[in-house]
Chain A
Amino acid sequence: RKEVEQDPGPFNVPEGATVAFNCTYSNSASQSFFWYRQDCRKEPKLLMSVYSSGNEDGRFTAQLNRASQYISLLIRDSKLSDSATYLCVVSPFSGYSTLTFGKGTMLLVSP
């Protein structure tokens, strides 16, 4: 089983739609979770950290389900500018551990 798995997409949605992505991780000891956004041929940028209680930042909501070992990202009222690849990132906590990146889910928002 791959460490971090994401549906590569693309997810094609119209402006204003609500879209959700899931990501599963294999290491049950994982402690830190993030969503990054990567535009075409650009560097990844942090979208949001994912907390156990779930968290919201404007139109974006992230949830963590430790029992089923997945995290989710919900985007409401999609904008054209949301078109990008969304990377699920997981880190086990073992002192100086390293991040594991999923391959990303591509979102295309159309007018």
Chain B
Amino acid sequence: DGGITQSPKYLFRKEGQNVTLSCEQNLNHDAMYWYRQDPGQGLRLIYYSQIVNDFQKGDIAEGYSVSREKKESFPLTVTSAQKNPTAFYLCASSTTGSTDTQYFGPGTRLTVL
């Protein structure tokens, strides 16, 4: 089945640790995105990538890093520099520019202990 997968579903991190969230898609989409959602808040864009080996910062990139070495994969690293990392992280993809419909993975819920 085509779709977007994210792993793990739940992740617990100690303060000071870096963690990497996985996002894989087999939809042959060029563009991929990472969002963060906090309770009662809208989705906020962290990073996005329109093409392999290229990515841009979104609205809240500080404390995060990404890579796009393969079309199918767009992992997000939450670094220790991110002061408030507990949130629901959503990965999405779309065919070309982001005016096209974005399809979301099931998300990763990160909790800092």
Contact = CB atoms under 8 A, between A and B. Distances in A.
Interface of A: 4, 8, 31-32, 34, 41-46, 49, 87, 91, 93, 95-99, 101-104
B97 A96 contact: yes
Contact of B105 (A43, A93, A96, A104): A43
A60 B13 CA distance: 41
A98 B107 contact: no
Contacts of B45: 98-99
When A and B form their complex, which 8 residue pairs have the shortest distance between CB atoms, in order from nearest? A43-B104, A101-B43, A101-B42, A103-B42, A32-B99, A96-B97, A91-B99, A98-B98
B18 interface: no
Contacts, number: 51
Contacts of B43: 44, 87, 101
A97 B101 contact: no
15 contacts: A31-B99, A41-B109, A43-B104, A44-B43, A44-B90, A44-B104, A49-B101, A95-B97, A96-B98, A97-B97, A98-B58, A99-B45, A99-B98, A103-B40, A103-B42
B44 to A, nearest CB: 8
Contacts of B103: 46
Nearest to B40: A103
Nearest to B100: A32
Interface SS majority for chain A: loop
B41 interface: yes
Nearest to B48: A98
Contact of A87 (B33, B42, B97, B106): B42
A45 to B, nearest CB: 7
A104 B90 contact: no
Contacts of A91: 98-99
Contacts of B33: 98
Given A32-B99, A96-B97, A101-B35, 12 more contacts: A41-B88, A43-B104, A44-B90, A87-B42, A91-B98, A91-B99, A98-B48, A99-B45, A99-B102, A101-B43, A103-B42, A104-B42
B25 interface: no
